[in-house]
């Protein structure tokens, strides 16, 4: 059994396995090197060979327990024929959403468009370096994807009142998305993903009154589906105020916490396996501080299954030496 599954399934607490969100990315010079020669981000995600190489880059450097596939949550809107572009220093920009066309897309066309992602997973699994490690596949949660698809740019850049003006549209879109998200989960699993993470990066923007329809109910459907495949599922509802309610309603195997929530409160409220929490900005400081902050999380969750990770992705300006220091500290603790 892999170290991460030993923690999730056997509830082992003697070691904390470790991996990082955005462990493959811009903080690595070897990633920037490939990225410079491949300006089109979507195309890069669809190049199975390069995407597999990028997936393995952090494993070649650090003693990590999982590979997370190099892809993006916005590959699903792309698979549903919405235009998706990544503009330098701006982030994603999506084309117009056509709800009529969306309901006419065939499952086969969707699968065909995303097939290079499944090939990349196969390829990654064949590499010896992933032996006894997990390969983490992922999806964006229906709410976060619906938000990008309707808003067409990151909600960091504008107010999202326009999105919440048409609640029926959001609901319809979430329902369509769930159908394709199940297909995307199934295909990732059939091609070698051993764990699925669901990223709800914008769950924290919603008022309580929308949580049931937009977050709890559709996400719990995907969690049930993933569990039926015998695959553990990690949920990351970033910025949500009440993690306890979320866990009760959605029932994931693992809850990834963000860096704004007090881990002592999580420890008191939640008894399932916890992942993450450490503020990625800590990696921009110094070794003493990294050690102190990492120790805090390891000590709080000492008698609870805990997977070490951050409270959001590694920042592009992070020094890889600090990542190496953190991995070794956690592994030897």
Of 88 and 131, the one with the shorter C-beta distance to ligand 1CP is: 88
Cβ-proximal residues to 226 (8 Å cutoff; 6+ apart), any chain: 185, 189, 196, 232, 233
Residues found in the chain:
333
Q: Are the CB atoms for 249 and 177 separated by under 8 Å?
A: no
Handedness of CA 96, 101, 107, 108 (dihedral sign): negative
Task: Decide: is 74 part of the binding site for ligand 1CP (CB under 6 A).
Answer: yes
Q: Are the CB atoms for 306 and 298 separated by under 8 Å?
A: yes
Task: Decide: is 21 part of the binding site for ligand 1CP (CB under 6 A).
Answer: yes
Query: Where would I find the beta strands (DSSP E) of the chain?
Result: 66-68, 84-87, 91-94, 134-140, 195-199, 233-236, 254-256, 273-275, 306-307
- Per CB under 6 A, the segment of 7-15, 86-94, 179-187, 206-214 that binds ligand 1CP is 86-94
- Per CB under 6 A, the segment of 72-80, 105-113, 114-122, 210-218 that binds ligand 1CP is 72-80
Q: Which residue is nearest to ligand 1CP (CB)?
A: 154
- Per CB under 6 A, the segment of 23-31, 100-108, 213-221, 287-295 that binds ligand 1CP is 23-31
Among 2, 82, 191, 201, binds ligand 1CP (CB under 6 A): 201
Task: Decide: is 313 part of the binding site for ligand 1CP (CB under 6 A).
Answer: yes
Pure H helices in 127-197: 142-151, 161-164, 167-190
Task: Decide: is 308 part of the binding site for ligand 1CP (CB under 6 A).
Answer: no
We find the least distance from the C-beta atom of residue 123 to ligand 1CP, in angstroms, to be 15
Task: Decide: is 86 part of the binding site for ligand 1CP (CB under 6 A).
Answer: yes
Among 64, 73, 145, 193, binds ligand 1CP (CB under 6 A): 73
| Structure-block tokens of residue 13 | 């607490």
Task: Decide: is 320 part of the binding site for ligand 1CP (CB under 6 A).
Answer: no
List Cα–Cα distances, 159 to 147, 156, 196, 200, in angstroms: 11, 8, 30, 18
We find the least distance from the C-beta atom of residue 144 to ligand 1CP, in angstroms, to be 6
Interface contacts to ligand 1CP, rule CB under 6 A: 21-26, 35, 41, 68, 70-74, 86, 91-92, 138, 154, 156, 199, 201, 313
């Amino acid at each position: 059994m892999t170290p991460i599954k030993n923690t999730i399934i056997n509830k082992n607490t003697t070691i904390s396995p470790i991996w990082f969100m955005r462990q493959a990315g811009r903080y690595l010079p070897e990633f920037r090197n490939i990225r410079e020669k491949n300006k089109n981000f979507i195309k890069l995600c669809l190049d199975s060979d390069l995407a597999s190489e990028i997936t393995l880059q952090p494993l070649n450097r650090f003693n990590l327990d999982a590979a997370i596939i190099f892809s993006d949550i916005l590959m699903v809107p792309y698979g549903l024929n919405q235009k998706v572009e990544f503009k330098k220093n701006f982030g994603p920009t999506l084309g117009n959403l056509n709800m009529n066309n969306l309901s006419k897309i065939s499952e086969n066309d969707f699968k065909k468009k995303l097939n290079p992602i499944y090939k990349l997973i196969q390829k990654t699994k064949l590499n010896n370096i992933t032996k006894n490690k997990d390969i983490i596949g992922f999806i964006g949660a229906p709410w976060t994807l619906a938000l990008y698809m309707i808003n067409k740019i990151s909600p960091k850049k504008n107010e999202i009142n326009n999105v919440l003006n048409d609640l029926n549209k959001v609901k319809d879109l979430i329902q369509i998305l769930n159908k394709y998200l199940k297909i995307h989960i199934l295909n990732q699993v059939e091609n070698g993903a051993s764990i699925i993470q669901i990223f709800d990066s914008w769950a924290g923007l919603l008022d309580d009154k929308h949580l049931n329809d937009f977050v709890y109910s559709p996400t719990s459907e995907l969690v049930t589906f993933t569990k039926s495949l015998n695959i553990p599922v990690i949920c990351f509802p970033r910025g949500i105020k009440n993690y306890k309610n979320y866990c009760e309603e959605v029932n994931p195997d693992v809850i990834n916490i963000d860096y704004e929530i007090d881990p002592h409160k999580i420890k008191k409220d939640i008894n399932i396996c916890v992942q993450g929490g450490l503020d990625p900005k800590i990696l921009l400081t110094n070794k003493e501080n990294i050690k102190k902050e990492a120790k805090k999380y390891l000590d709080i969750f000492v008698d609870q299954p805990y997977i070490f990770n951050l409270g959001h992705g590694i920042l592009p300006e992070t020094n890889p030496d600090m990542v190496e220091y953190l991995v070794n500290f956690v592994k030897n603790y």
